[in-house]
Amino acid sequence: MGYNILTPTNEAFVENEELYPHTLSYDKPDGEKISGIIRNDEQSEDEYYMMFSLCGEDVEFSVD
């Protein structure tokens, strides 16, 4: 899986800057509660991939 690396000179970086940090929270199928702070696009892709891999696409989650 490839990533679009964003730099401070990239226009998309400025647009996405206000999206972070945010908190992603969800419950795993075994009931374990997961909550973590996401600080950038790369981490966001990784965390959402892990969440959907562990819980399937119908998982309920919140982003605060």
Structural domain contains residue 47: yes
Q: Is the pLDDT of residue 59 over 50?
A: yes
pTM for this predicted structure: 0.70
- pLDDT on residue 27: 97
Domain count, the chain: 1
Structure confidence at residue 26 (pLDDT): 97
| Tens-digit pLDDT profile for residues 11-55 | 444 456 678 999 999 999 999 999 999 999 999 999 999 999 999
In a domain, 29, yes or no: yes
Helices (H) and strands (E) in the chain, counts: 2, 3
Q: Judge whether 28 lies within some domain.
A: yes
Indicate the Cα dihedral angle 54, 60, 63, 64, nearest 10°. Answer: -120
Tell me, yes or no, whether 3 lies in a domain: no
Q: Is residue 44 in a domain?
A: yes
What is the structure's pLDDT at 17?
A: 65
- Report if residue 63 sits inside a domain: no
Task: Note the pLDDT of residue 19.
Answer: 83
In a domain, 64, yes or no: no
Residue 52 belongs to what domain range? 11-56
CA pair distance 40, 52, nearest whole angstrom: 18
